Amino acid sequence: MAAFLELRGVTKKFGDFTALNDVSLEIRRGEIFSLLGPSGCGKTTLLRVCAGFEQPDAGRVILDGHDITDLPPNRRRLNTIFQSYALFPHLTVRENIAFGLRVARRPAAEIKREVGQTLALMQLEEHADKRPALLSGGQKQRVAVARALINKPEILLLDEPLAALDLKLRQRMLVELDNIHDEVGITFIFVTHDQGEAMSISDRIAVMHEGRVEQIGTAAEIYEAPRTSFVAAFIGDTNFFDGQVLGPDTNPDYCQLAIEGFTDIISFNDKRLPTGQLAHLSIRPEKFRISRNPPPPDPFLNRISGTVEEIIYQGTHTNFWVRAGEYRVAVRQPHSRFKLDQEIITWKDAVWLSWHADDGCMLEQYRADDESLLSLPDPDDAHPAPGGTTGTTPPAASGRQRGIAT
Amino acid sequence: MRRSRFPLIVCILGMLFFYLPILVLIVNSFNASRFSTVWGGFSLKWYALLFQQDDVWHALRNTMLIAVSATTVSMVLGTLAAFALHRFHSRLQDAHYTLVYTPLVMPDILMGIGLLLFFAALRIPLGLGTIFIAHVTFCVSYVAMVVLARLQDFDFSIVEAAQDLGAGPWTILWRILLPLLAPGILAGGLLAFSLSVDDFVITFFVSGPGSTTLPIKIYSMIKYGKPPLINALSTLILCVTFLLIWVSQRLREKRA
Amino acid sequence: MSAASGLPAGQPTAVDNGAQIARRRQRQEWWISLPSVLWLLAFFLTPTLIVLAITFKPADPYGNIGAGWTLDTIRSLGNPNYPSIVWRTIWISVVATVICLVTAVPFGYYMARAPEKRKALLVMLVMVPFWTSFLIRIFAWKVLLHPEGYIHRFLRLFGIVNEGDLLLYNPEAVLLVLVYTYLPFAILPVYAAAEKFDFHLFEAALDLGCNRFSAFSRVFLPSIRRALVTAALVVFIPALGSYVIPDIVGGNASEMIGNKIAQRTFIDRNLPHAAGLAGILTLSTVIPMLIVLGVQRRQARVTVPRRKRGAT
């Protein structure tokens, strides 16, 4: 599909700080495209460049084949939902929504009609003559959306639109936004730092880090096949293993990996890393099977043995930390029929961990710093974040220890 | 824990200290006796006499003329200054800030003598014009500071939202900035107005023949005139002041 | 969609885009800043500098500024009369500042701990004098302190003063009215800081073994020290420049620099002399001011000094 909005080599500096570093991406007509990343990664700056609030130092912004880089925001057919909503406090809801049409000098009768329709669509009729100060967070959000949509923009830019809402409301508004998208069918660019929001609403996600786009893909792509250690660590949780490619397997899609302390490791090698290349393997905690008995033989099943160091019961699942060689491996086992099919595993048990060769992901780029992103709960604190978050910590011997930035 | 009563006592004594002199003055303005410590019965004769003092009314006219014009000009200059100080961060704005800030902390007499010497050196005759210039000079800083404080609480994403919705610079100025900042600009203007009406020292230095303002008139009455007459005049001024404070307070409560 | 060019090759790259924006921004900055900058340069900075220049000018017999340059003024400032006035000015200002601070701290403390409703009333009551004519308030004291005034009669009742004693026209009267005038300006910053103070810290201090007094002096005072500096300055600097107060309630023995400046200006009509005195006053105010300005500018852009121009 052809690009609807295209960024070509966009760079933006604020003093010495590079907010955007040669960013290029293409957004398709009608999709919900998310910019996801930690604060300071440049996602909001990117959105502001699209809206025209920031002028890039280099690069072009192209909308539907036209270069809009030099157009001021008021001449771009894009509208923004601001994080703070930025409703005009001195105008009523009705006047806020009518603002864009008034500025465009549309006939009064048309404005009246359109505003009426939009108020009805957004279920804001009973609040039409209130000032924004009297509205709840969710209502403000709806006014902001209404005020932008009434102008029939080509693209709606949403800057952390849910950040100011509480958790329950956030989920409801997310569904509401999705419904609105289905109804109006325009392109949404959605900025968020919340991977849950991004994954549930987006057609595609761009994961950003330090002013660069690390990976663009569907939610499943970025979760299952992260290209960099940053993406692997930022989206969900994972374990990193350092290894080296020993050579291709009999099936060329797979390769043999040497990881210190383990034997016979085989991994899916979609990136076709050559023999001898240093490789970093990312394995998500839930990809492991944990058992006291050795798993049945299978050429594609990797197995390592270790000792249980920590167990945290989490309701829907249990987190284990297993010492295997020099790694401390995070493992997540879901509960289905807890009493019946779960072997009772307890502290200090010798266990087997196994995972399918397809479930490991070889990373193209690896930076040791990214390990600090893993939301490793200290098992001794035993207060992990909801949803269970885990990770590995190679031991001190390897020079990387939790808590010490490397 | 029981709290110490000391602060309460200081507060009560302080309030008495603030208000007793004013109260005595008001009471005395209705005293028929011309001696402030002898109660000669209730009387409005000093007010009657006051209304016959043409020079007082002439001074009031001058004061109002200057206050209104100086407030208007300083509101424009001060608001622009606040915008510049808020929006830009450069060496020019550092200097600008110092220029705006220094008059606030400089003793009046220095500003007065400085302007007097300035006008004398340029051989500009003293009069209402020079008083106007002096008043604008000190009012600008106050307006700028009040507006600047409001600007810092101002959510500028609102301006971006207006731009985003297609508004050009003029629309933003008239539809968004001015309506939203009007309370701040008016508050600055009110402050400037009250300072201008009340200023004595600077005015004293730069006034010329025929440009007597109310504070200068009051000063000469204090030095050479009849106390009861000043009591009456003071009471009237205090009443107007209290009325204005009350009105502005009500307006603020209504808005909130 | 609004008009936009296509994408021919070789269009200006966005690199000069940045420079262009910077230029446009700078032009905008100049236009917005110019009116107030020019006004203040012309009518504030220039007069301030002229004061210094005129110090080195001779006076002409008609009360104007003569031609040429001279050191006469500097020489006559050595007259032993002046140092004593300068010292008196500083001394009175320091004492007034100390009294204001000592009063403002418990006052502001009480206001901050008062219930919300009473707080608003108290702030209002402290602010009202700020808005009322300062000449009138000075005059009120002149009436009160007058030999026929209530205070004189009250004190006579207890034999504290005698018939012939004067409460007016001495340095104590000047001090009293200075405190009366500037106390509100000292209270407001102290109150503002005390309001933000977390009074749970008091309980923590008591818990850790402080008594009430040491909790106050070791926990409360240090945390409002910035406000104390502000309060001291808003009293001290205008007090140094006092003119009207010593003129109305002071006598010969309580003349301050301000009075001398006015005397040289209006009575002797020796403008260079007035300028020289103003120079001394400028020096003694500019130094503390610049220090505070430097500190405040770094910490926060806005501190509206809650001083009303006037009563000096």
For every one of its 312 residues, what pLDDT tens digit does chain C have, with 9 covering 90 and above? Answer: 334 444 444 444 444 566 777 788 888 889 999 999 999 999 999 999 988 888 888 877 777 777 778 887 777 777 777 888 888 999 999 999 999 999 999 999 999 988 888 888 898 888 887 778 889 889 888 888 887 777 877 787 787 777 777 778 888 899 999 999 999 999 999 999 999 888 888 888 888 878 878 888 888 888 888 899 889 988 999 999 999 999 988 888 888 999 989 988 888 888 888 898 998 888 888 777 777 767 666 555 444 444 444 434
Candidates C2, C25, C26, C33, partner chain B, best to mutate (most B CBs within 10 A): C33
C-alpha distances out from residue C71 to A183, A403, C79, Å:
86, 72, 14
Q: Closest partner residue to C14 among A59, A64, A71, by Cβ?
A: A59
Domain count along chain C = 1
Question: In the prediction, which pLDDT does C268 show?
Answer: 84
Phi, psi of A157 (to 5 degrees): -100, 125
Q: Is C40 on the interface with B (CB under 8 A)?
A: yes
State the residue range of the domain holding C290: 68-311
Rg (CA), chain C: 27
Q: Which pLDDT tens digit goes with each residue over B67-108?
A: 999 999 999 999 999 999 998 888 899 999 989 988 988 899
Residue C12 domain flag: no
Question: In the prediction, which pLDDT does C7 show?
Answer: 41
Question: In the prediction, which pLDDT does B73 show?
Answer: 97
Can you give the pTM of this predicted structure?
0.79
User: Would you call A346 helix, strand, or coil by DSSP?
Assistant: coil
CB–CB contact A67 C15 (8 Å): no
Q: Give the ipTM of the model, two decimals please.
A: 0.89
Q: Are residues B11 and B106 in the same domain?
A: no
What's the whole-number mean pLDDT along residues B214-235? 86
CB–CB contact C6 A66 (8 Å): yes
CB–CB contact C43 B83 (8 Å): no
Q: How many helices (H) and strands (E) does chain A have?
A: 9, 20
Residue C300 domain flag: yes
CB–CB contact A59 C4 (8 Å): no
Q: Is B230 on the interface with C (CB under 8 A)?
A: yes
Q: Are residues B148 and B178 in the same domain?
A: yes
How distant is the Cα of C58 from the closest Cα of chain B, in angstroms? 12
How distant is the Cα of A67 from the closest Cα of chain C, in angstroms? 6
Q: Is A59 on the interface with C (CB under 8 A)?
A: yes
Residue C210 domain flag: yes
CB–CB contact A82 B157 (8 Å): yes
* Residues in chain A closer than 8 A to C4 (CB atoms): 63, 66-68, 71
DSSP-assigned letter for residue C59 = B
The enclosing H or E element of C203 equals helix C200-207
Residue B117 domain flag: yes
CB–CB contact B219 C187 (8 Å): no
CB–CB contact B158 A51 (8 Å): no
C304 half-sphere exposure, CB direction, 13 A CA radius: 20
Residue B210 domain flag: yes
Helix axis angle for B54-87 and B91-105, nearest 10°, is 150
Residue B244 domain flag: no
Q: Is B48 on the interface with C (CB under 8 A)?
A: no
Report how far residue C202's alpha carbon sits from residue C211's, in angstroms, rounded to the nearest whole number: 10
Question: In the prediction, which pLDDT does A404 show?
Answer: 28
Q: Closest partner residue to A103 among B158, B160, B165, by Cβ?
A: B165
CB–CB contact B166 A90 (8 Å): no
Candidates B150, B156, B164, partner chain A, best to mutate (most A CBs within 10 A): B164
Candidates C41, C135, C234, partner chain B, best to mutate (most B CBs within 10 A): C135
Q: Could you tell me which residues of chain B have a Cβ less than 8 Å from any Cβ in chain A?
A: 155, 157-158, 160-168, 171, 175-176, 179-180
Q: Are residues B117 and B90 in the same domain?
A: yes
CB–CB contact B120 C65 (8 Å): yes
CB–CB contact B117 C40 (8 Å): no
* Residues in chain B closer than 8 A to A86 (CB atoms): 155, 157-158, 160-161
Q: Are residues B40 and B71 in the same domain?
A: no
Residue B168 domain flag: yes
Candidates A55, A62, A64, A152, partner chain C, best to mutate (most C CBs within 10 A): A55
Question: In the prediction, which pLDDT does C159 show?
Answer: 75
Q: Are residues B64 and B27 in the same domain?
A: no
Buried b or exposed e, range A132-150, using 16+ CB within 10 angstroms = beebeebbbbbbbbbbbbb
Q: Within its chain, how far is the Cα of A147 from the centroid? A: 27
Residue B232 domain flag: no
Q: Closest partner residue to C2 among A62, A69, A77, by Cβ?
A: A77
CB–CB contact B180 A75 (8 Å): no
A266 half-sphere exposure, CB direction, 13 A CA radius: 16
How distant is the Cα of B147 from the closest Cα of chain A, in angstroms? 18
Task: Tell the residue number behind the tokens 């008609």, with chain if given.
Answer: C62
* Residues in chain B closer than 8 A to C285 (CB atoms): 105-107, 110
Domain count along chain B = 2
Residue C283, by phi and psi: left (phi above 0), alpha (psi -120 to 50) or beta?
Answer: alpha
How distant is the Cα of B155 from the closest Cα of chain C, in angstroms? 17
Residue B148 domain flag: yes
* Beta strand segments in chain B, E: none
Buried b or exposed e, range B128-147, using 16+ CB within 10 angstroms = bebbbbbbbbbbbbbbbbbb
Q: Closest partner residue to A67 among C5, C18, C21, by Cβ?
A: C5
CB–CB contact B171 A103 (8 Å): yes
CB–CB contact C7 A62 (8 Å): yes
Determine how β-strand A278-283 pairs with β-strand A360-363: antiparallel
Question: In the prediction, which pLDDT does C300 show?
Answer: 52
Residue C25 domain flag: no
How distant is the Cα of B117 from the closest Cα of chain A, in angstroms? 45
Q: Are residues B138 and B22 in the same domain?
A: no
**% of chain B residues with pLDDT over 90:** 45
Question: In the prediction, which pLDDT does A396 show?
Answer: 32
Q: Are residues B118 and B58 in the same domain?
A: yes
How distant is the Cα of A69 from the closest Cα of chain B, in angstroms? 15
CB–CB contact C17 A76 (8 Å): no
Q: Is C22 on the interface with A (CB under 8 A)?
A: no
Question: In the prediction, which pLDDT does C47 show?
Answer: 93
Tokens for B38?
């002898």
Of B252, B237, B121, B234, the closest CA to residue B186 belongs to B252
Q: Are residues B36 and B111 in the same domain?
A: no
Of B233, B201, B228, the closest CA to residue B216 belongs to B201
For every one of its 406 residues, what pLDDT tens digit does chain A have, with 9 covering 90 and above? Answer: 578 999 999 999 988 899 999 999 999 999 999 999 998 899 999 999 999 998 899 999 999 999 999 888 888 889 999 988 899 999 999 999 999 999 999 999 999 999 999 999 888 999 999 999 999 988 999 999 999 999 999 999 999 988 888 888 888 889 989 988 998 889 999 999 999 999 999 999 999 999 999 999 999 999 999 999 999 999 988 999 998 898 888 888 889 888 888 888 899 888 888 888 888 899 999 999 998 888 888 888 999 999 999 998 888 888 999 999 888 999 998 887 655 555 678 888 899 999 999 999 988 888 877 877 776 544 444 443 333 334 443 333 333 323 322 2
* Residues in chain A closer than 8 A to C7 (CB atoms): 60, 62, 65-67
Q: Is B98 on the interface with C (CB under 8 A)?
A: yes
CB–CB contact B168 A74 (8 Å): yes
Q: Are residues B23 and B95 in the same domain?
A: no
Of A85, A31, A24, the closest CA to residue A49 belongs to A24
Residue C11 domain flag: no
Domains assigned to chain A: 5-224 (3.40.50.300), 229-381 (2.40.50.100)
Any idea what the CATH number is for the domain that residue C253 is in? 1.10.3720.10
Residue C249 domain flag: yes
Any idea what the CATH number is for the domain that residue B116 is in? 1.10.3720.10
Chains linked to A by 3 or more Cβ pairs within 8 Å: B, C
Average pLDDT, chain B: 88
Q: Which pLDDT tens digit goes with each residue over B22-61?
A: 888 888 888 887 766 677 778 888 888 888 888 889 999 9
Q: Is C143 on the interface with A (CB under 8 A)?
A: no
CB–CB contact B176 A53 (8 Å): no
Residue B29 domain flag: yes
* Residues in chain B closer than 8 A to A104 (CB atoms): 166
C-alpha distances out from residue C51 to A216, B110, B206, C239, C261, Å:
68, 9, 15, 20, 12
Phi, psi of A374 (to 5 degrees): -60, 125
Chains linked to B by 3 or more Cβ pairs within 8 Å: A, C
* Residues in chain B closer than 8 A to A79 (CB atoms): 164-165
Residue A249 identity: D
State the residue range of the domain holding B31: 6-46
Q: Could you tell me which residues of chain A have a Cβ less than 8 Å from any Cβ in chain B?
A: 51-53, 72-75, 78-80, 82-84, 86-90, 99-100, 103-104, 147-148, 151
Question: In the prediction, which pLDDT does C311 show?
Answer: 39
